[in-house]
A and B are shown apart, each in its own frame.
Chain A
Amino acid sequence: MGQTITSETTALAARVTTLAEAAFATADGLRRRAEDLFTGGRPASADLAVLRPWVTEALGGLINGAGVITVPLADGRPGLEWWMGSPAQRSRLTLDLDPASDTFVDVGRQPWYSVPRDTGRRHVTGPYVDYVCAEQYALTFTVPVTDHGTFAGIAGADVFVGDFERALRPALRAVGTPVALVNTHGRVVAGSTAHHLAGSLIRDAHIRTALLTALPAVLPGGVRLTPCGTLPLAVLTWP
């Protein structure tokens, strides 16, 4: 039986990895288009409009938001080409970038922007309440955009947690025992029991420590930890 649990759990982790890598591939495609804009010198914020066909084409399936947000460009304004919704019903994101305004959005404080900026690496933000864009419970997959090696912004894709859970449901059910997909902070993305609903936090100290190491492990109480590739996500199973 232990063998069965392991293989179903591995399949779930593989399914998570496939879905997440697809979102990252979308973000990475937009990153390349954005970086092309920088080859002939620093563009102006309005120049990002040429990305629009690729951004809107990225919507659909699990992707409910996608685009590029940059540092201030040649005209002193940040570039913003981000769209939300489905191919049939989509809208362009506008952000209030006036620091004196009540609804000002400090992009630099948002983890989906600051982590790729500060680490130079891709990042999965969430699950979190995305009150900046879609006002939805989401996962955001972002990669840094660089201008000749210097950070110039991010490209990214949003997936609603509800859609992600639905896409994982068959693989979750197949595990058979209580199971949860969590991020490295112990925040549940999707689970198979009422105790592990999206958004709840795993507080068990052993599990929390193990999540930070991101290595396969069997923990006290028979809890098994299976990492999802190199993503900051892991599958937990309880006996």
Chain B
Amino acid sequence: MGTSRASARSVVFAPLDPHSRAETVVRRLTDAITFGLLTDAEQLPSETDLAAQFGVSRVTVREALVALRQQNLVETRRGRGGGSFVRAPTAAADRSLRSRLSELSLPNLRDTADHYAAVAGAAARLAAQRADADDILRIEEVDADVAGPLHRMERAYHLEVAAVAQSARLAREEIRFAGELGTLLWSPILQTADSTYDPHAEHRAITAAIAAGDGDLARRLTEEHIETAVERLVTLHLTLVEP
């Protein structure tokens, strides 16, 4: 457990891609705090160090810290021994990812994820049957948006696929799952054994299968895409939840 927590922590501070902004720093630190990877009263690295580790400017880090202070997740003390300190959310923060994650039972999580894979997979298969060239462009456009957090892009991508499938019901299910599971499933601090994990690359393969009219492949790739994400979530769940 010590090792996996330590490696999960190293992911927290991994460099950000150049499109990311203060918002991504905020989300990564928020998730780390709410998941308990950064503990209460723990001192954060200095602004300079954070900027270097995230690969962003100090201005961006400062902007992120302001937002975290407003959310009461970080406290900044001046003077000797000063710096930014983690304020772990208390019982009041029942909206937090951590409490949501520990409330989930693994059987329920598995069941929800199976349902979601069925919905997203079926949407991809139907999209392959029903997409025209303009539809493919719309799907590609959504996936190309890397400015916001991952869960937002994931919601938009799979919702667009359901729309291209011409299914209002599947689109409604996508919206429901995004609200229920999205921020957990696509939290940037979840890890995989495979360091090359890239949801965008998986989307590009799904989109290519849809464009080629290969519904079976589009469905299989989508199911695997969801399964990989669920595996990451289950691994973290097992790491965090005490026996």
Query: Which A-chain residue is minimally distant from B23 (CB atoms)?
Result: A100
Please measure, in the bound complex, the distance between the C-alpha atom of A100 and the C-alpha atom of B27, giving whole angstroms: 12
- Inter-chain contact count A-B, CB under 8 Å? 50
**A15 contacts partner chain B, Cβ-Cβ < 8 Å:** no
Contacts of A100 in B (CB 8 A): 23, 148
CB distance from B154 to the nearest CB of A (A): 10
Q: Is the CB of A135 within 8 A of B132?
A: no
Q: Is the CB of B167 within 8 A of A129?
A: yes
Decide yes or no: A200 and B130 within 8 Å by CB, A102-B155, A135-B175 being known contacts.
Answer: yes
Q: Is the CB of B130 within 8 A of A185?
A: no
Q: Is the CB of B151 within 8 A of A129?
A: no
Contacts of A200 in B (CB 8 A): 129-130, 166
Query: Which B-chain residue is minimally distant from A128 (CB atoms)?
Result: B163
Q: Write out, one digit per residue, whether chain B residues 122-157 have a CB within 8 A of any chain A CB (1) or not (0).
A: 000000011110100000000000001101100100
Q: Write out, one digit per residue, whether chain A residues 79-116 have a CB within 8 A of any chain B CB (1) or not (0).
A: 00000000000000000000010100000000000000
Decide yes or no: A127 and B172 within 8 Å by CB, A185-B134, A199-B130 being known contacts.
Answer: no
Contact count band on A: 10 to 19
Q: Write out, one digit per residue, whether chain A residues 183-204 have a CB within 8 A of any chain B CB (1) or not (0).
A: 0011100000000001111000
Query: Which B-chain residue is minimally distant from A135 (CB atoms)?
Result: B172
Please measure, in the bound complex, the distance between the C-alpha atom of A186 and the C-alpha atom of B131, giving whole angstroms: 11
Decide yes or no: A199 and B171 within 8 Å by CB, A102-B155, A185-B134 being known contacts.
Answer: no
Contacts of A199 in B (CB 8 A): 130, 166-167
Contact of B132 among A129, A136, A186, A198 (CB under 8 A): A186
Please measure, in the bound complex, the distance between the C-alpha atom of A219 and the C-alpha atom of B93, giving whole angstroms: 65
Contacts of A136 in B (CB 8 A): 168
Please measure, in the bound complex, the distance between the C-alpha atom of A199 and the C-alpha atom of B166, giving whole angstroms: 6
Q: Is the CB of B166 within 8 A of A102?
A: no
CB distance from B175 to the nearest CB of A (A): 7
Contacts of A137 in B (CB 8 A): 166-168
Contacts of B182 in A (CB 8 A): 102
Q: Is the CB of B130 within 8 A of A129?
A: no
Q: Is chain B's interface secondary structure helix, strand, loop, or mixed overall?
A: helix
Contacts of B129 in A (CB 8 A): 200-201
Query: Which B-chain residue is minimally distant from A129 (CB atoms)?
Result: B163
**B162 contacts partner chain A, Cβ-Cβ < 8 Å:** yes
Within 8 A of A (CB), among B174-221: 175, 178, 182
**B73 contacts partner chain A, Cβ-Cβ < 8 Å:** no
Decide yes or no: A102 and B168 within 8 Å by CB, A131-B175, A185-B132, A201-B130 being known contacts.
Answer: no
Contact of A102 among B132, B151, B165, B172 (CB under 8 A): B151
Contacts of A187 in B (CB 8 A): 132, 166
Please measure, in the bound complex, the distance between the C-alpha atom of A198 and the C-alpha atom of B175, giving whole angstroms: 22
Q: Is the CB of A131 within 8 A of B159?
A: yes
CB distance from A230 to the nearest CB of B (A): 22
Contacts of A186 in B (CB 8 A): 132
Please measure, in the bound complex, the distance between the C-alpha atom of A137 and the C-alpha atom of B167, giving whole angstroms: 7
Please measure, in the bound complex, the distance between the C-alpha atom of A130 and the C-alpha atom of B171, giving whole angstroms: 9
Please measure, in the bound complex, the distance between the C-alpha atom of A187 and the C-alpha atom of B166, giving whole angstroms: 10
Contacts of A102 in B (CB 8 A): 149, 151-152, 155, 178, 182
- Chain B residues with CB under 8 Å of chain A are 23, 129-132, 134, 148-149, 151-152, 155, 159, 162-163, 165-168, 171-172, 175, 178, 182
- Chain A residues with CB under 8 Å of chain B are 100, 102, 127-131, 135-137, 185-187, 198-201
Kindly list the 5 A-B residue pairs having the minimum CB-CB distance in the complex, ordered from nearest. Answer: A199-B166, A129-B163, A137-B168, A131-B171, A129-B171
Contact sample, A vs B, 21 pairs, CB 8 Å cutoff: A100-B23, A102-B152, A102-B155, A127-B166, A129-B163, A129-B166, A130-B168, A131-B162, A131-B171, A131-B175, A135-B168, A135-B171, A136-B168, A137-B167, A185-B132, A187-B166, A199-B130, A199-B166, A200-B130, A200-B166, A201-B131
Task: Using A187-B132, A200-B129 as known contacts, list a sample of 7 further A-B pairs with CB atoms less than 8 Å apart, ordered by residue number in A.
Answer: A130-B168, A131-B163, A131-B172, A137-B168, A185-B134, A201-B131, A201-B132
